[in-house]
């Protein structure tokens, strides 16, 4: 039985606030217990683990038939087929978090029959709550969002990032930055893909691109961009999820530099 998306979103918002409390409990403290995952650039902290455990516990208890995809623990199958899948990044921006930098967030996306229908991204230190329901617009702390309307690259500030295997894989975005940077007002690398997408939806970034993202990085954020009048363009298919986000005209211009 399909459930009210508004009810599901309220659950996601309340859960995101609780996860934000977990983040802040350890932020800029000496008890983060950071560990290396795939390589030295890829960290996990106790806040990542506690946040994901909390979300999985709450989703499983409240919606036992729903599937879950979590960054740290992978797939969790619901008791019965429902069509719903929660896609969660318990702590987006772990390197920022571990360094004491305040740009980090929890990202909670919800898909129904493989289509994202709702999302919540909460940056607790910044007190910014981004919300979206498919077809109903996207919002920051209750205020409707709209992507940048700029069309000239030399007036634009773009966001980007680099994959964890940047030191060993030559498809690492460095050549893209070198190609496009001379044509821009500036580039920002904020270190949290979900927050980058939300910043694009809000017009704080005029556009954003990144390669080698995973579903939990962009599930909620991509819908937030689209419901703010933007688009998501997939520019290659050999590096997991590789996207350009922004208004249509800017995406067309960014595409000429990004490979």
Dihedral sign, CA of 216, 174, 125, 100? positive
Which pTM was predicted?
A: 0.95
216-253 core/surface letters (b: 16 or more CB in 10 A; e: else) = bbbbbbbbbbbbbbbbbbebeeebebbbbbbbeebbeb
Residues 70 and 137 in one domain: yes
Residues 23 and 134 in one domain: yes
Residues 186 and 133 in one domain: no
% of the chain residues with pLDDT over 90: 91
Q: Which of 121, 144, 167 is the last residue of a domain?
A: 144
Residues 174 and 248 in one domain: yes
Structural domain boundaries, residue 47: 5-144
Dihedral sign, CA of 156, 161, 167, 170? negative
- The pLDDT assigned to 129 comes to 98
Q: Which portions of the chain are predicted below pLDDT 50?
A: 1
Domains in the chain, number: 2
- The pLDDT assigned to 2 comes to 63
Answer whether 21's CB lies under 8 Å from 125's CB: no
CATH at residue 134 = 3.30.540.10
Q: Which of 144, 166, 182 is the last residue of a domain?
A: 144
Residues 43 and 133 in one domain: yes
């Amino acid at each position: 039985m399909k459930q009210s998306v508004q009810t599901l979103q309220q659950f996601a918002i309340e859960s995101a606030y609780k996860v934000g409390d977990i983040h802040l409990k350890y932020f800029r403290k000496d008890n983060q217990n950071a560990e290396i995952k795939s390589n030295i650039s890829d960290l996990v902290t106790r806040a990542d683990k506690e946040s994901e455990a909390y979300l999985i516990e709450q989703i499983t208890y409240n919606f036992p038939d729903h599937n879950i995809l979590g960054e740290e623990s992978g797939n969790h199958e619901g008791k019965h087929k429902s069509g719903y899948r929660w896609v969660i990044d318990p702590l987006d921006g772990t390197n920022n978090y571990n360094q004491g930098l305040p740009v980090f967030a929890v990202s909670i996306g919800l898909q129904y029959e493989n289509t994202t229908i709702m999302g919540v991204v909460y940056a607790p230190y910044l007190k910014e709550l981004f919300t979206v329901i498919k077809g109903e617009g996207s919002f920051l702390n209750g205020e409707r969002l709209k992507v940048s309307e700029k069309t000239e690259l030399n007036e634009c500030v773009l966001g980007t990032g680099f994959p964890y295997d940047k030191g060993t894989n030559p498809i690492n975005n460095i050549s893209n930055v070198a190609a496009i940077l001379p044509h821009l007002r500036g580039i920002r690398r904020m270190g949290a893909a979900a927050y980058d997408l939300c910043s694009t939806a809000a017009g704080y970034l005029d556009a954003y691109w990144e390669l080698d993202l995973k579903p939990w990085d962009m599930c909620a954020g991509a819908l937030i961009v689209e419901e703010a009048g933007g688009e998501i363009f997939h520019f290659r298919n050999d590096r997991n999820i590789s996207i350009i986000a922004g208004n249509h005209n800017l995406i067309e211009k960014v595409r000429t530099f990004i490979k």
